[in-house]
């Protein structure tokens, strides 16, 4: 079956970089408020199926973790959301999808940036101590029965941008790391293939592969870090992440933190 990229919702072009259902089709939008909003609306209306991906050249109100916005220079970075029908997982295992998508983005970025690429809990991608990518997954449950209906996987990856706003903390792009300029739409299609690779781990029932791979890539594993909870900052050592997504640290005692419960204090 031919694989196509839908460019600005009008032209169909073959794109050999996509190897599986995620990214079929890959819709390229000239400008949108948020690819996550757009993808969710398409899924809910029935216009999108599992694997549909939406890539924006410009995003005017992109979403980040903890209610933050994700704004980038138009046309220079990957701003993309994919529609996942997570029938293979119950909702209480949602972190396994998060881990799989983090591994997809990690593998993609590491291919170009090298071994200093890491996953910062829960699902940011870091190179050295600088942020290269972020992931935001938004979920929809079936009305009435709370079954997991859709997961919208939003990814923002710094590709060609070299100048960032003052409010952006410690960013880095592939161009800054490698000195090369990349074709962003082609890179977005390649990222879809990495998502498909890790989605197939879930589909095949090989869930036991996810957390060991995630741990192997974990930022600051077995290192002392500073975390902020409410108004207090404390030091602790990263020991791992549980299958339900809690950060496990050790100091005087073992500690477990839910996503959003603590913030990293870097620098």
Tracing tokens 């919208």 back to the chain, one arrives at 152
Residue with structure tokens 């999108």?
48
Mapped onto helix, strand or coil, the DSSP state of residue 229 is: strand
Q: Which two tokens stand for residue 63?
A: 């979403």
**How far is 170 from 131, CA to CA, in rounded Å?**
6
- The string of DSSP letters for 141-172 reads EPTTT--EEEEEEEEEE--S-----TTS-SB-
pTM value? 0.90
Ordered alpha helix ranges (H), the chain? 35-45, 94-113, 174-178, 184-203, 210-216
Q: In degrees to the nearest 10, what's the CA dihedral of 133, 113, 116, 171?
A: -40
Are 211 and 199 in contact by the 8 Å Cβ rule? The answer is no
How are beta strands 232-241 and 124-127 bridged, if at all? unpaired
* Residue-level pLDDT at 71: 59
**Tens-level pLDDT at each residue, the chain (267 residues):** 333 344 444 334 444 455 458 998 999 999 999 999 999 999 999 999 999 999 999 988 755 544 455 557 889 999 999 999 998 899 999 999 999 999 999 999 999 999 999 999 999 999 999 999 999 999 999 888 878 999 999 999 999 999 987 767 899 999 999 999 999 999 999 999 999 999 999 999 999 999 999 999 999 999 999 999 998 999 999 999 999 999 999 999 999 999 999 999 997
At 165 the pLDDT is: 78
Is there a contact between 82 and 194 (Cβ–Cβ < 8 Å)? no
CA proximity to 63, closest of 143, 155, 172, 162: 155
CA distance 90 to 177: 39
Cβ atoms of residues 75 and 57 within 8 Å: yes
Tell me what pLDDT residue 69 has: 53
């Amino acid at each position: 079956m031919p694989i196509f990229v839908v460019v600005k919702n009008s032209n169909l072009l073959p794109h050999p970089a996509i190897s599986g259902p995620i990214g079929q089709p890959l819709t390229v939008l000239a400008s949108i408020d948020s690819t996550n909003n757009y993808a969710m609306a398409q899924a809910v209306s029935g216009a999108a199926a599992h694997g549909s991906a939406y890539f924006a050249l410009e995003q005017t109100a992109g979403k980040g973790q903890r209610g933050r916005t994700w704004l980038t220079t138009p046309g220079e970075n990957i701003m993309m959301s994919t529609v996942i029908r997570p029938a293979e997982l119950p909702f209480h295992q949602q972190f396994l999808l998060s881990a799989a998508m983090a591994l997809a983005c990690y593998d993609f970025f590491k291919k170009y940036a090298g071994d200093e690429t890491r996953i910062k809990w829960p699902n940011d991608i870091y190179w050295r101590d600088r942020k290269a990518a972020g992931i935001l997954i938004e979920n929809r449950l079936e009305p009435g029965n709370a079954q997991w209906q859709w997961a919208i996987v939003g990814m923002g990856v710094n590709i060609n941008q070299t100048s960032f706003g003052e409010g952006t903390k410690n960013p880095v792009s592939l161009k800054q790391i490698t000195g090369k300029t990349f074709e962003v739409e082609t890179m977005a299609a390649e990222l879809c293939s990495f998502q498909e690779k890790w989605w197939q781990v879930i589909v095949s029932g090989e869930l036991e592969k996810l957390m060991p791979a995630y741990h192997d890539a974990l930022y600051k594993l077995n290192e002392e870090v500073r975390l902020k909870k409410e108004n207090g900052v404390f030091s602790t050592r990263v020991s791992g992440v549980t299958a339900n997504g809690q950060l496990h640290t050790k100091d005087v005692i073992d500690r477990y933190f839910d996503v959003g419960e603590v913030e990293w204090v870097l620098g």
